[in-house]
Structure 1
Amino acid sequence: MEALFTAAALSFGVVFVGEMGDKSQLMALTFATRYRLRSVILGMSIAITALIGLSVALGSALGNLLPTDWIRLAAAVLFIGFGLWALRGESADDDEDGHVVKERRSGLLTVIGAMFLAELGDKTMIMSLTLGSQYNGWGVWLGGTAGMLAADLLAVFAGVWVAKHVPERFIRWGSAAIFIVLGVILGIEAVTALTD
């Protein structure tokens, strides 16, 4: 039991600190300005739980077999697509909290897919693979999931504040810019890694 708690505490700290300022926080903030809070939190929870679980299950031995550069390139194309989609705007609905957010039926799936793809092969996955190969797997999964969720929830609540206080057109342009820039960065990283 002590090994579980040690692994969970270590993983929480490593992943939480590693996620500060990471692209997943920018995505979480952006999603919180565009979708219902429950869709963002549920989508992030599903994606993060699955990602950390996959990382721990694979372990460091199988980590080198994943085609992470191709996955990163697919994520880059997806992000640029999200950015272009954000530019077109959508109709607004009232959230249960009373603020106006945009929501498509696919909002939950968008959050799950984007978060999962963005972090696949990223430092969070590598940290979880490494920790999972050295410490109690259940502890790493619990601690890593909680650490990433905690870091990204900070960004979600910042995004909710932004949605309430910043005009919609600035949110739309800012969201588009964030996704396109992240897509370009991911694309450059993927192409550079594939050509080395």
Structure 2
Amino acid sequence: MISLSYFFTVLLTFFVAEMGDKTQLMLFALTSKYKIRSIVLGTAAAILVINGISVCAGGLLNEFLKSHLWIVKLIATAAFFYFSATSLIKNEDEEGVGESKISFASLAVFCIFFIAELGDKTQLSAITFGATNGLNPALFFVWLASSIGFFAADIIGLVLAFILHGKTPDRFFKLLAFAVFAVFGFVNLYEVLLDLNAQLLLLPIMAGSAFLFTGICAIIILRNRKLH
């Protein structure tokens, strides 16, 4: 059993750590693709799962992530580019499909959030708290406090996005989603290349990726114009 003061220390630590983090911005951007309910369900599930893994694995998982972090970042890079490009897609049947695809939408949010958060400072914080307490019943309260603080910070971003949605054109949010995910994608790709000590290939790979990504986006925009 942990003290109440320690419980709130963990909670506030995660709340502060998540404020302004990439996943908070990512959830803000996801409001252009999915309904708030889908995002909340997917986010809550991802937070509970990833914090549960982190506090239980402790130092062991920490060592694993340090040696394989570039793989995690590469997966996140592909996910970010995918969500950025698909933010530009206009569907003819967007109206009325939200409820029938609620499970898929929540699963999609869960996957992108889970992948993006792997190796992030909040997950490493959960690992640290878990390793400090060891395998005992206190882990449940560490998991609960970290998840509440984590989720509370992300909910603030979602509430702000929900408020702005009523006053801002949907096109703005789609462009915001495109920009946010694209930036995260290129930042992650840059970090992967640094982790692999591929400085000599840094410029050509970044330039080639930018060229390929721009081409894909151009194709999507042309498709949208034909549909219109």
Give the TM-score, by structure 2 length: 0.77
- Paired residue for 1:139? 141
CA contact 2:81–2:181 (8 Å) conserved in 1: yes
- Paired residue for 1:124? 122
- Paired residue for 2:76? 75
Whole-angstrom distance in 2 between the partners of 1:45 and 1:80: 23
> Which of 152, 155, 158 lines up with 1:153 in the alignment?
155
Q: CA deviation at 1:94?
A: 6.3
- Paired residue for 1:63? 62
Q: CA deviation at 1:158?
A: 1.1
- Paired residue for 1:42? 41
> Larger radius of gyration, structure 1 or 2?
2
Q: CA deviation at 1:104?
A: 5.0
Partner-residue secondary structure (3-state), 2:20 = coil
Structure 1 gaps of 5+ residues are: 96-100
Q: CA deviation at 1:34?
A: 2.4
> More relative contact order in 1 or in 2 (CA 8 Å, sep 6+)?
1
- Paired residue for 1:195? 197
CA contact 1:34–1:102 (8 Å) conserved in 2: no
- Paired residue for 1:174? 176
- Paired residue for 2:11? 12
Cα gap change, 1:146 to 1:153, in 2 (>3 Å)? same
Whole-angstrom distance in 1 between the partners of 2:144 and 2:173: 33
1:57-116, Cα deviation, whole Å (9 max, x unpaired)? 110233111322211111011101110011112344369xxxxx8995531111000100
Q: CA deviation at 1:129?
A: 0.4
CA contact 2:54–2:61 (8 Å) conserved in 1: no
Larger displacement relative to structure 2 (111-120 or 55-64): 55-64
Whole-angstrom distance in 1 between the partners of 2:16 and 2:143: 16
The percent identity for this pair of structures is 30
CA contact 1:15–1:148 (8 Å) conserved in 2: yes
1:131-178, Cα deviation, whole Å (9 max, x unpaired)? 111133112101110011000000011111222221122211111111
Whole-angstrom distance in 2 between the partners of 1:7 and 1:190: 36
Larger displacement relative to structure 2 (26-35 or 52-61): 26-35
- RMSD, matched Cα: 2.1
Cα gap change, 1:68 to 1:4, in 2 (>3 Å)? farther
- Paired residue for 1:98? none
Whole-angstrom distance in 2 between the partners of 1:102 and 1:85: 20
Whole-angstrom distance in 2 between the partners of 1:148 and 1:170: 27
Whole-angstrom distance in 2 between the partners of 1:175 and 1:162: 14
2:74 partner amino acid: L
Structure 2 gaps of 5+ residues are: 199-228
1:45 partner amino acid: A
CA contact 1:82–1:179 (8 Å) conserved in 2: yes
1:7-56, Cα deviation, whole Å (9 max, x unpaired)? 42121111110011000111111122321111110000000100100100
CA contact 2:29–2:174 (8 Å) conserved in 1: no
Partner-residue secondary structure (3-state), 2:95 = strand
1:120 partner amino acid: L
Whole-angstrom distance in 1 between the partners of 2:100 and 2:188: 26
2:41 partner amino acid: L
Whole-angstrom distance in 2 between the partners of 1:189 and 1:104: 34
